[in-house]
Structure 1
Amino acid sequence: MLMPMLGEAWHAIGANRMRTFLTMLGMMIGVGAVVLMQAVGAGAQAAVRKQIDSMGSHLFIVLAGSPSSGGVRMGGGASSTLTVGDAKAIRNLPGVSTAAPVIPSSQQLVYEASNWNSQVFGSTPDYLKARDWAIANGDGFDESDVQSGRRVALIGATVADNLFGSDDPVGKTLRIRQAPFTVIGVLGRKGQSLDGRDQDDTVIIPYTAMQRALSNSRFRDSVRMILVQASSDQAMAGVETALPELLRDRHRIGPEADDDFFVNNLTAVANSAAETARTMSLLLGAIASVSLIVGGIGIMNIMLVSVTERTREIGIRMAIGARQRDILMQFMSEALMLSLTGGLIGVGLGLSGAWMIELIWHAQIALSWDAVVIAFAISASTGIFFGFYPAFKASRLDPIEALRYQ
């Protein structure tokens, strides 16, 4: 019963192909737009999530305070209020997984005839743990290297490409400023950070080697920042509260005095960016869904026209025994056939559009088959919803009046 009805519906909508195509066009555009926008939105979320994961998880950055000079306040991290001892004390706080003191500096790197300017970070082995940063080639340095101030370096992929080209950097010696450092490892690729900085344009050395060979600071134990990693999501709130209390106590800051440090919750910033991307994805999907409603209205409009044109046919069918239910199912099947065919073509258009965007603009696209199935199901539901009224109107026609219709 179903297959003959669908075959008849296909024959009926094929009687006027141009009108059928224009009717399906709205559904094709609607479904295609939903699939395409969901792919773009999911790709944006995936890109943001990748950047968040590259930063490390459950992170806080503690920056040294901002001193004043002649009434001019310097930026955060410009003073020497944080020490390696602070990092060791923070590491013992409940809920803290690791804490790494960091001394950042921009330095010129030289290897044979090649040179490159990069960010150099003096730290401890805990820096890689906090950043969830793997070593792709070679080995890392350990606490004994930190204690002895050994001049060894871990370099990022960008530094390796620009200084060493296709050569293996491990075991070779580069100069930072004029100090020689032996490359012992190459870091895995991280890509761009949320602020667009190339994280692979990085050199990591023991902070003691940084202080002895590259730093002009008189305070040998001072650091510019401390990278703190909480053990879990649940521990972050407690760590965020305990950090300022510990540092204020260690720095002997009075109740009314301002902090001489800043605590930044990187995870909160990252989650905010992820939430923004998710909201934009939902907004794009909602805007595209409007096209489905427009397509449904087009189906209802054409079906009403079809009922009017085929009034005499309906009368003949009812005169030879067709029931109201048969007429209803006939026109419902035509509306369903229009929406399903338009939806199927729309899915193809959406997938093709996503592929073209990825190919031409090199944007990250994440195809969600759930979104494809949902868009297709919505197109079918839209056809049933908007096709019901014309079908119901056709089934309620008076056979005698329908036969008299000219």
Structure 2
Amino acid sequence: IRVGSYFYRVVGVLRERMPTGGTGGSQAAEDYNHDVYIPLETNRVRFGETIVVRTAGSFIREQVELSQLTLTVSDIEKVRPTGDLVRDILSKHLRPDWAVTVPLDRLEEAERSKARYQMLLVLIASISLLVGGIGIMNIMLATVTERTREIGIRRALGAKRRDITVQFLIEAVVQTTLGGLLGVVVGLSVVFVVPALASIWELKLPARVHVPSIFISLAVAVTVGMLFGWYPARRAAHLDPIEALRHT
């Protein structure tokens, strides 16, 4: 690519990041998504030393310096130890003309907000699963009532209670699994359609598909079917065959 009067070879593209700063203080938000990073030595060769001119009244001082070094850690628990380590290293090798800023309060607040958001999602998902499970149970109970005579005939022909239980459990699991598959299809559609629509208005909405979540959601659907289908299945299995045959 060409930047200014020079050409550069692209060796990597950074993952898109949300703007940082600009919240809860006077610091302006910084958007790193349009930045181009080049090696420091390349910068010195092409542009010479970076000269920073600082003025204090009539005093002017020129100094070659790096304005900022940004470190990223993998875990919030490592933020404070990493900051202490950087301070210790700089204090041994450089003059005390630097400052180490550890935005720990902002990170902790972000973690708390993330935890609250996740708890809200878990609560909503739990309520949805409970309502859906009760709906499945009611449907299966209605099915047992409608098929009472069929159950009596099967029992009269030698079907065991276990066979009836397994039959209705499978039916309940099939219903919840189909519902889970439909939810996965709708979710994937939203993941791909919404960013495409947002791009029309020049908005960037990064979206990712977390594959393990798909299998987890299907496993949850199967579990809900087994839990809420158990009572109707047991009720069907314990019907008296003679009374079931009399049912019209």
Contact 2:52–2:64 under 8 Å retained in 1: no
2:118 corresponding residue in structure 1? 282
Residue by residue, what CA displacement relative to the aligned partner does 1:72-122 show, whole Å, maximum 9, x if unpaired? Answer: xxxxxxxxxxxxxxxxxxxxxxxxxxxxxxxxxxxxxxxxxxxxxxxxxxx
- 1:379 maps to amino acid: A
| CA distance 1:399–1:202, shift in 2 (3 Å) | closer
Percent identity over the alignment is 35
2:138 corresponding residue in structure 1? 301
Give 1 or 2: higher strand fraction. Answer: 1
Greater Cα offset, 290-299 or 234-243: 234-243
Structure 1 position 227, deviation (Å): 3.6
Q: TM-score, normalised by structure 1?
A: 0.43
CA distance in 2, matches of 1:279, 1:346: 24
Larger radius of gyration: 1
- 1:369 maps to amino acid: V
Structure 1 position 324, deviation (Å): 0.6
- 1:333 maps to amino acid: I
Match of 1:210 among 48, 52, 65: 52
1:194 corresponding residue in structure 2? 20
Matched, 1:318 2:138: no
Residue by residue, what CA displacement relative to the aligned partner does 1:348-371 show, whole Å, maximum 9, x if unpaired? Answer: 111111111121124111101100
Structure 1 position 317, deviation (Å): 1.4
Structure 1 position 283, deviation (Å): 3.9
1:394 corresponding residue in structure 2? 236
CA RMSD after TM alignment = 4.1
CA distance in 2, matches of 1:269, 1:277: 12
Q: TM-score, normalised by structure 2?
A: 0.67
Contact 1:299–1:383 under 8 Å retained in 2: yes
Match of 1:264 among 81, 84, 101: 101
Contact 1:339–1:383 under 8 Å retained in 2: yes
CA distance in 2, matches of 1:189, 1:322: 64
- 1:197 maps to amino acid: E
CA distance in 2, matches of 1:185, 1:327: 71
| CA distance 1:354–1:280, shift in 2 (3 Å) | farther
CA distance in 2, matches of 1:366, 1:324: 46
CA distance in 1, matches of 2:227, 2:210: 26
| CA distance 1:365–1:326, shift in 2 (3 Å) | same
CA distance in 1, matches of 2:241, 2:208: 54
Structure 1 position 275, deviation (Å): 3.2
Match of 1:341 among 159, 178, 182: 178
Structure 1 position 374, deviation (Å): 0.4
| CA distance 1:395–1:202, shift in 2 (3 Å) | closer
Match of 2:166 among 326, 329, 342: 329
Flag structure 1 segments of 5+ consecutive residues without an equivalent. Answer: 1-135, 138-159, 171-183, 252-259
CA distance in 2, matches of 1:276, 1:365: 22
Equivalent residues, number: 214
Contact 1:244–1:263 under 8 Å retained in 2: no
